[in-house]
Amino acid sequence: MDKHLLGGLSAAEFLRDYWQKQPLLVRNAIPGFAGLLDYTALQALACEDEAQARLIRETKAGWALDHGPFKPSDFKPKARLPWTLLVQELNHHLASARDLLQQFDFIPHARLDDLMVSYAVPGGGVGAHFDSYDVFLLQGSGQRRWQISAQTDLTLVDGAPLKILQNFVPEHEWVLNPGDMLYLPPHYAHNGVAVDACTTYSIGFRAPSVQEIATQFLVYLQDKLDLPGMYQDADLALQSHPGEIGDAMLNQVADMIARVGWQRADIADFLGRYLTEPKPHLFFDPPEPALTQSAFARRAHKQGIALAPKSLMLWRGNTFYLNGEPLAAMPDATTLQQLADRRRLAGAQITASLLIALYPLYLDGYVVLGQAGD
């Protein structure tokens, strides 16, 4: 990590004093940063089929939200009213976006969501709101005025297509210049308004709710459960009310449900799968044409390999998870840990047995041959 990124704080100091605790404004966090792509390239991206893009406009009737993919004519201002274009998952599309995310490797990958970019015309923004995420708001080109508040009143405007705070009372305000960055913990009220046409890059970290984790764990458990036996009542006593659910029935079902159990290993396995599960709109592109195993091995030795930009890989102990599934017995755990940590491996690091194990992942489009910038 570059020493400017956290304004001279070490990663450990930042985690101790700011992460999930309080906002941090860093002037010149990335010296010379002016954004990763210009407006024309951003528009083109927002018109691609897979792009997760939103257009937010302030109309006379209130906020309006449209989802992409868009057509170039959608960006022609209909009236002189402010608007903003947001594109998620820039890291799936740009090597420079993946390099930028690497600077935030002091936060575990399991917490990372994605890199989003917003482009706004003067006066544009998404309104005063809060997010459930931790976010680093990095100013690209132009200037944006940020107002923030520790307020606990997080009541939202009813019926708006966006989350807009009903009563936003700013406590601090700054104008961010290119390369400046603002960190905000979850649920911190904020409002960013473009001073001139500007771009802002949001490095977002997911923070699942207890409800989400528990619900997803139950879904996982359902697939794993294997409980023998049946309801039995050879000792059925005569009931005076046939419509009543009797105590004996309730007791027996309570005992059945008490047999639903799990170990810490089940939770670890659930987490590995859940945290690497690709979002439902994502599809992987197998190589076209696919190299044979020996040609793949030769090229991988020369060029190295990388995780495909959409791939998510995490590990715990000797178990590796890639895109929602555990990898079956893999050789070279230390090298694989590096693949998960750095998203790439140099050719010299990859043994012949690892190449054999990686080949099916290459055919799935989960792993790609490395190239400069990948």
Interface residues with ligand SIN (CB under 6 A) are: 84, 118, 125-126, 131, 135, 190, 192, 200, 202
Query: Per-residue DSSP letters for 135-163?
Result: EEEEE-SS-EEEEEE--S--PBPTT-SS-
- Which partner from the list ligand SIN, Co ion, none does 66 bind, CB cut-off 5 to 8 Å by kind? none
The structure tokens listed for 276 are 């690497």
Q: Which residues contact 331 (CB under 8 A, 6 or more apart)?
A: 351, 353, 354, 357
Bridge partners, residue 135, by sequence: 184, 204
- Which partner from the list Co ion, ligand SIN, none does 343 bind, CB cut-off 5 to 8 Å by kind? none
- Which partner from the list Co ion, ligand SIN, none does 202 bind, CB cut-off 5 to 8 Å by kind? ligand SIN
Instruction: State the minimum distance, in angstroms, from the CB of residue 70 to ligand SIN.
Output: 17
What's the rounded Cα separation, in Å, for the pair 132 and 287?
Answer: 37
Instruction: State the minimum distance, in angstroms, from the CB of residue 118 to Co ion.
Output: 10
- Which partner from the list ligand SIN, Co ion, none does 84 bind, CB cut-off 5 to 8 Å by kind? ligand SIN
From the list 128-136, 273-281, 298-306, 312-320, the region that binds Co ion by CB under 5 A is 128-136
- Which partner from the list Co ion, ligand SIN, none does 35 bind, CB cut-off 5 to 8 Å by kind? none
Instruction: State the minimum distance, in angstroms, from the CB of residue 84 to ligand SIN.
Output: 6
Instruction: State the minimum distance, in angstroms, from the CB of residue 190 to Co ion.
Output: 6
Q: Which is nearer to Co ion, 131 or 341 (CB)?
A: 131
Chosen residue from 50, 74, 105, 131 binding Co ion by CB under 5 A: 131
Select from 296, 287, 304 the least CA-distant residue to 370: 304
Instruction: State the minimum distance, in angstroms, from the CB of residue 203 to ligand SIN.
Output: 11
What's the rounded Cα separation, in Å, for the pair 335 and 358?
Answer: 12
- Which partner from the list Co ion, ligand SIN, none does 200 bind, CB cut-off 5 to 8 Å by kind? ligand SIN
Instruction: State the minimum distance, in angstroms, from the CB of residue 59 to ligand SIN.
Output: 17
The structure tokens listed for 370 are 């490395």
DSSP-based helix, strand, coil % in the chain, nearest 5: 30, 25, 50
Is residue 316 helix, strand or coil? Answer: strand
Q: Which is nearer to ligand SIN, 63 or 217 (CB)?
A: 63
- Which partner from the list Co ion, ligand SIN, none does 105 bind, CB cut-off 5 to 8 Å by kind? none
DSSP one-letter code for 90? G
CA-CA-CA-CA dihedral for 312, 67, 131, 172, to nearest 10: 130
Q: Which is nearer to ligand SIN, 5 or 137 (CB)?
A: 137
What's the rounded Cα separation, in Å, for the pair 270 and 227?
Answer: 19
Instruction: State the minimum distance, in angstroms, from the CB of residue 137 to ligand SIN.
Output: 6
Which stretches within 304-351 are classed as H helix? 333-342
Residue 163 found at the interface with Co ion (CB under 5 A): no
Q: Which is nearer to ligand SIN, 114 or 269 (CB)?
A: 114
The structure tokens listed for 206 are 């997911």
Give whole-number Cα distances, 45 to 41, 42, 51, 188, 344, in Å.
6, 5, 7, 30, 25
Q: Which is nearer to Co ion, 137 or 306 (CB)?
A: 137
What's the rounded Cα separation, in Å, for the pair 213 and 267?
Answer: 10
**Contact residues for Co ion (CB under 5 A)?**
131
